[in-house]
Amino acid sequence: MESMVKTWIGQSLHERFDHVVEEPVPEAFMRFLDGMESDNEICSAVAE
């Protein structure tokens, strides 16, 4: 039973993620993703 619940939660999260990816991604979110890769990029983006 517990594994069925985990599978259902995993599938629903996956579907939600797919839906989000299909939509246009806001610039701020892209900057946030860049920041995760390199904090320096966020600092330079803010400085501009």
What confidence tens digit (pLDDT) does each residue in 13-43 have?
667 666 555 566 677 777 887 877 666 555 5
Whole-angstrom Cα distance, residue 18 to residue 26?
16
Q: Which pLDDT does position 24 carry in this prediction?
A: 67
Residue 4 lies in a domain: no
pLDDT of residue 34: 80
Q: Flag whether 16 is in a domain.
A: no
What residue numbers bound the domain in which 41 lies?
A: 24-48
- Domain assignment of residue 9, yes or no: no
DSSP per-residue letters across 8-40:
HHHHHHHHHHHHHHHSPPPHHHHHHHHHHH-HH
Q: Reply yes or no on whether the pLDDT at 46 is more than 60.
A: yes
33 — phi, psi (to 5°)? -65, -40
In a domain, 41, yes or no: yes
Distance of CA 25 to the CA centre of its chain: 9
